[in-house]
Structure 1
Amino acid sequence: MLEMKTWRTLATALALIAAPLAFAQSTPDKAMRIIAAGPPGGTLDVVARLLAEGLQRELDRSVIVEAKPGGGGAVAVNDLMQAPRDGNTMVVTLDALVSEIPHIIKLRYDMAKEVKPIAELARGGLVLVGNPSLPARNLPELITYVKANPGKVSYASYSAGTVSHVMGLQLNKAAGIDMSHVAYKGTPPALVDVMGGHVPLMFAGIPNAVPLVKSGKIVPYAVSLPQRSPNLPNVPTFTELGYPQLEALAWVGLWLTPDVPAAAQNRLREAAMKVMAQPAMRDRLTEFGLAPGQPRTPDELTKSLHADYERIGAVLKAIDFKPE
């Protein structure tokens, strides 16, 4: 019951963040629409609403946000495919849409061809966390403990085939340990089970983990970022601890279909980059556990997606992973 209360409190807090950012819809032919590929109050919804708030001022247009979770972003993309290709409808979702999800789910669309990232809005990483009952307070102690208990320690992921799963496989190989994997359908139920001691470890998104770390409900061991997280300044990076192969970033992007006119793509990219670069916006992202996005070009983003797709695919192929 305590764990569920914690998640109700977290959900309420996220809803309060998102609530002031709702926008009144004006006439449909003048409104722009952002489809957030996640649940209301979640990370993608919050980033989408922050962007919408800024675009409304920057472009002097009404902007509405619709949360459409499901299928790792596939539900949101399906909606995008049905919309006019004029740049007035866009999707906010994670890079996993192209780099991870096609390995996990048999999709209707070839995401690498059907959608195009035009701007990186925010980025974040994962943190390895554990139940406080574990007799380890840092990563070296944890690895020693797992080695002393072969086959007895498991870790959760928010879905099989995602970076949350792959990082455990990489740590197994790098540290010479044998943690077993337990897949969940989403982060909240996985973290509830970590807090309850049903599964001892998890690679969790930093925004989801921070409130629970600060309340002492879970223990952090290392973050996957290149530098320490401002939200967890006392938690070292995997690279600091000698595991650079576990450095991993996820980023939230603004996506269109490639056939949207180039002028509309450029206008949206320019406006989005301007909005997300504002100091107040960067501060709000940091408070939420995210870092500001980098000014990479669409071509640079696309190349990074291809590289990540190949890297993750190689790890999953080694364990003979098959999509659902």
Structure 2
Amino acid sequence: MASTKALFQTFNCENLTLPNRTVMAPMTRGFSPDNIPGEDVAAYYRRRAENEVGLIVTEGTGINHPASVSGASIPVFHGEAALKGWENVVKEVHSVGGKIVPQLWHVGMTRSKGDLPNEEALPVGPSGLSLDGEKVTEPLSEEEVGQLVEAYAQAAADAKRIGFDGIELHGAHGYLIDQFFWEQTNKRTDRYGGDLVGRTRFAVEIIEACRREVGPDFPIIFRFSQWKMNDFKAKLATTPDELERFLQPLVEAGVDIFHCSTRRFWEPEFEGSDLNLAGWTKKLTGKPVISVGSVGLDGEFTSFAGAETTSLDGLIEKVENEEFDLVAIGRSLLMDPEWVKKVHDGRENDLLAFDKESLKKLT
């Protein structure tokens, strides 16, 4: 294995200092009964922090809206009990010197009618369309859009109040914010629709509202993707120029770090350049970026089958070339809390292959 020195340089940005360049990717676990994270969730995150993960991004956690999540064991980020649970998570992670941000989430139209925890709550989206373009519910009114913006802002304020080190807004994978970005699910003709820049308006208002609540020095990370849960080949931007037009309003609204979600970090985003989505985002915005996608494994997450370990040399080369600043690790860290420490110690042969059985428990 090539020298991992580049992965273990400190990182500094907007009042966020990390001991190295590793990030625990957000992964839905569904081990929070009644939507409240308990002691086992806190211990799960703590184990990664005490094994040298630079920054933890929590699993997606629902904002204060009745249709924000679909499931009674997915955590939420509102109400006294859930926030107390998250406060305990922060305490445990900080007690071993870790840094952690919550991923603030609304699933939008990926929710099915009748889903728990609020069976009566209908799924909501910009145009009431499923990811396949089928009409399911009525479009959100402008008043309802405003209420959603405020729910994100309240979650950001609560995150700062209970001690988190920043927030991540989930704007990827075909969930609510991304449904506003994507032409297939956003057919609006008001200020929240239109062309690619017009479709960023909802996200811009969320970022601005969160920034008002948390002040200028609290890090806001924004996660976005080209691909959607139902369409791995979907593209918001087909050229670097389009990507720049899409990103600029988000930069101006106040994003500090972009988390650029791809399925395979080594794949170029556009023809004619080896840069991946994170690499292009950094080049076009000048902002720090997180790259992600099958780090350390030879199989994609989408099938959730097993995957073998693979060389980190290509990843390290991209970090050395400063194509991206931070590296998010998903399944490898889900499987093995000690993954980062093993890499740091040069114990490549001790890294564990991914076994889908690991999805069934918090380890």
Higher-helix-fraction structure = 1
**What is the TM-score with the length of structure 1 in the denominator?**
0.29
Question: TM-score scaled to structure 2, two decimals?
Answer: 0.27
**Higher relative contact order, structure no. (Cα contacts within 8 Å, ≥ 6 residues apart):** 1
